[in-house]
Amino acid sequence: MKKAELKELIRNSILEGDYLEDDPNAVQALEDAESEEMDSIAEADAIVEAWNAKKQALQEEMDGGYIELMEMNPKFDEGLKMLSEVWNEWKSGEMTEEWMIDEARQDLLEYLASILK
């Protein structure tokens, strides 16, 4: 018989007024089982809380860390510098109108995102 089934049997017997209500061992067994269950739940909650805290700390460490790792490669900065130069040259070009810049920036970002998939 499983612990939960035993608890339910004892609980039902007590509620129905069976002989178990007069048996202090049965009542104590029920109280002990409930106490153990509460201890197990509290322990599980503590484990989940500790895991979530550790996961949050790890996430905070990783945020922004990817760029720092890529910056270690000199080609990363060289590529960004080249892209920035081309962008600035286009922005200051004779054919570029002010109203074009935001749309062009969005197009460039979407293009880069599609390449980096």
> In this predicted model, what pLDDT tens digit does every residue of 12-70 receive, in sequence order?
666 555 555 556 666 666 677 677 777 777 787 888 888 878 777 777 666 667 787 78
Rg of the chain (C-alpha set)? 33
pTM flag (> 0.75): no
Q: Is residue 88 very low, low, confident or very high in pLDDT (cuts 50, 70, 90)?
A: very high
CB-count burial class (<10 Å; 0-12, 13-18, 19+) for 74: exposed
